[in-house]
Structure 1
Amino acid sequence: MLFFSVLMLGVSFNPKKVQAVQVPDIPVSVEPVYPDIQKETSSEYFNFSVKPGDVVPTNLKLVNTSDKSVVLRIQPVPATTTPTGDIDYSPHKGTVDGSLKYNFAKLGPTAEKITLKPKETRIIDQKVSLQPDMKFKGMILGGFYIWSPSVNASAQKAAIKRHKTGVYNTFGMYIGVTMHVGDDSSVFPDFRLRTVKPSIQGAEPVVLANLQNFKPQAVTNKSMTIKAKVYHRGGQSVVKETGNLKFSFAPNSNTDIPISWGKSRMAPGKYTLKMTAKTGLRTWHFTRNFTITPQQSAAANKLLPKTRSYLWLWILLVAVVVLLAIASMAYLYRRGINKGRNQTGGRSHSHRHR
Structure 2
Amino acid sequence: MNKKQDIEYLIKVGNATTNDNGTINYTNFKNKKDTTAKYQFTDFISKAEMKQKITVKAGSSSEVTVNLNVPKQKFPGTIAGGVYVERLTNSYTNEKNGMNTRNHFSMTLPVILTEQAKAKRIAKMELDKVMVKNGPEVIAKLHNVKPVMFGKLSIDSKITKKNHVKTLIHKNVNNYQVAPNSSFNFLASDSSNQLGAGEYTIDMHLQSGERKWHLVRDFTITAKQGVPLTKRTGWLGVSMVMLWIVILILVIIIVGLVVVIVRQKQNLKTKNK
- Asked if TM exceeds 0.5, the reply is yes
- Over residues 270-308 of structure 1, what are the superposed CA-to-partner deviations in whole Å (9 max), with x where a residue is unaligned? 11101111122221111111111123337xxxxxxxxxx
Q: Report whether the alignment pairs 1:255 with 2:184.
A: yes
In the alignment, the residues of structure 2 paired with residue 83 and residue 184 of structure 1 have an alpha-carbon distance, to the nearest angstrom, of: 30
> For 1:1-354, what aligned pairs fall within 5 Å after superposition?
64-65=1-2, 67-93=4-30, 95-108=32-45, 110=49, 111-132=51-72, 134=73, 136-149=75-88, 172-183=106-117, 185-199=119-133, 205-219=136-150, 222-297=151-226
1:269 Cα deviation from its structure 2 partner: 1.1
CA contact (8 A) 1:277 1:284 kept: yes
Q: Which has the larger radius of gyration?
A: 1
By how many angstroms is 1:86 displaced? 0.9
Q: Which amino acid aligns with 2:67?
A: K
- CA, structure 1 residues 148+191, in 2 after alignment: closer, same or farther (shift >3 Å)? same
Structure 2 spans left out of the alignment, 5+ residues: 91-103, 228-238, 253-273
Cα offset, 1:128, TM superposition: 0.6
Amino acid paired to 2:56: L
C-alpha separation between the residues in 1 aligned to 2:121 and 2:42? 22
Corresponding residue SS for 1:106: helix
Letter in 1 for 2:146: K
> How far 1:183 moved relative to its partner?
4.5
Deviation at 1:205, TM superposition (A): 4.2
Query: Could you give the per-residue CA deviations for residues 69-110 of structure 1, whole angstroms, max 9, x where no partner exists?
Result: 332211111100111111111235473321111121120251
For 2:3 and 2:142, how far apart are their aligned partners in 1? Answer: 44
Partner of 2:63, secondary structure, is strand
Deviation digits for residues 22-50 of structure 1 (CA, Å, limit 9, x no counterpart): xxxxxxxxxxxxxxxxxxxxxxxxxxxxx
Q: Which amino acid aligns with 1:173?
A: M
SS in 2 for 1:105: helix
Gap change, CA 1:144 and 1:192, over 3 Å in 2: same
CA contact (8 A) 1:233 1:271 kept: yes
Aligned residues: percent identity? 27
Between 138-147 and 177-186, report the one with greater CA deviation: 177-186
Per-residue CA deviations over 1:212-264 (Å, capped at 9, x if unaligned) read 11111110xx3221111111112222221222322111111111111133524
Q: Secondary structure at the match of 1:79?
A: strand
How many residue pairs are counted as aligned between the two chains? 236
Q: Structure 2: how far apart are the matches of 1:211 and 1:311? A: 37
Q: For residue 265 of structure 1, report the CA deviation from its aligned partner.
A: 4.3
- Normalising by structure 1, report the TM-score: 0.56
Q: Please report how far the alpha carbon of residue 135 of structure 1 lies from its aligned counterpart in structure 2 after TM superposition.
A: 5.3
Contact 1:73/1:114 (<8 A) preserved: yes
**Residues 240/172 of structure 1: CA separation in 2 closer, same or farther (3 Å cut):** farther
AA aligned opposite 2:34: D
1:161 corresponds to: none
For the Cα contact (< 8 Å) 1:240–1:261, is it kept in 2? no
RMSD after superposition: 3.8
